[in-house]
Each structure stands twice: as structure tokens, then as C-alpha cells.
Structure 1
Amino acid sequence: MNRLEREAAARRIMERVQPVPPPGLYEAAVRRGSRLLRRRTAVRRVLWLLLAVGVVVFAVWALTVQPWAQAPSETTPTFTDW
């Protein structure tokens, strides 16, 4: 197929009558889109809430356990002055 044939085929395709969409398609698409946006917003808020709760739980744990402090010695030092 050369260039002129491709152009003629493209013109024939573009000159065809466009199919009519079914009635109510626009309203259904808007409803579905708004539902998806609400769901996405709710999921995002829940994830932010879980992140905030995790930060608070970690902070409380760190303040009570104090993992940065040195642990008490489990053994006694050797005593050599007898």
C-alpha cells in the first residue's frame, strides 16, 4: 500500500458516519468517575491516618523503651583485689 492508497483509505474511514453513543452513557460515565474519585480520596485518607497512627505508636514506644539508652550490665565485673 503506497502513500496515496493510505491517504484514500484514511479519508474513507473519516468520512463514515460516526456511530451514535447510547443514551445515558455520559451520565453513567460521570457517576462512575465520581464514585472512583470518592473511593480514591477515602483510600488516601485512610492511608494517611494509618501513617499518622504508626508514627504516634512508634514515638510512644521509643519514649517508653528508650532504645538509645545503654542496657544495664548482665554480668558483674571481675574482682581481683583479695
Structure 2
Amino acid sequence: MTRTDSPDDKEAAVRRMLDTPHPPVPADLALRAAARGARRARLKRAARRLLWGLFVVAAVAFAVWASAARPWEVPPAETTPPLEGW
């Protein structure tokens, strides 16, 4: 269709398309769609659980590292000051 088509022409074209015979739909289409949707939901749920599990493992690993390394403490001096006055 071109830009100059009137709304009536477009409506007529849509009506012509709808008047044509529709293709046959498989009888088990709804069952297949429901099974596919259930499978996608299971995969999505499994992926979400996996990501939450990885998040928990990372948080625990960080907590263990932080408790062992204590990055908030000032590290000890590498050298001692000179001993004078003894």
C-alpha cells in the first residue's frame, strides 16, 4: 500500500484478507503451546535459582575472605624505627 491509500481502501484490503480461507490449525497446538510454556517456566525458575545460589556462594566466600584478611585494618609496618638511646 502507498501513503495515499485512504482508510476505506485499507479497510477493504483487510476485509479481503480476512475473507480468504484460514489455514488449518493442528489439533494439538494448544497442548504443545502449554508444554512449551511450562518448559520455559521451569528453565526460567532453574536459572533464577542458580543465580541466587551463585550470589549466596559469592557472599559467603566474601565474608570468609574478609574475616580472614581483615582488609579494614592498617597493615603492620614493614620496617621498625631505628633503636636509639639504649
Shorter-normalised TM range? 0.7 to 0.9
* TM-score normalised by the chain length of structure 1: 0.84
- Which piece of structure 1 moves more, 49-58 or 6-15? 6-15
Q: Which amino acid aligns with 1:27?
A: L
Within 2, Cα distance between the matches of 1:68 and 1:8?
Answer: 75
Cα deviation for residue 80 of structure 1 reads 5.3
CA RMSD, Structure 1 to Structure 2 (Å): 1.8
Within 2, Cα distance between the matches of 1:78 and 1:61?
Answer: 35
Match of 1:59 among 49, 58, 63: 63
User: For 1:26-78, what per-residue CA distance to the aligned partner results, in whole angstroms no more than 9, with x for missing partners?
Assistant: 11111111011101101100110110111011001101111111111111213
Unaligned runs of 5+ in 2: none
Within 2, Cα distance between the matches of 1:41 and 1:11?
Answer: 43
Cα deviation for residue 81 of structure 1 reads 4.5
Counterpart of 1:72 in structure 2 is: 76
**Percent identity, aligned pairs only?**
41
Unaligned runs of 5+ in 1: none
Number of matched residues?
82
* TM-score normalised by the chain length of structure 2: 0.80
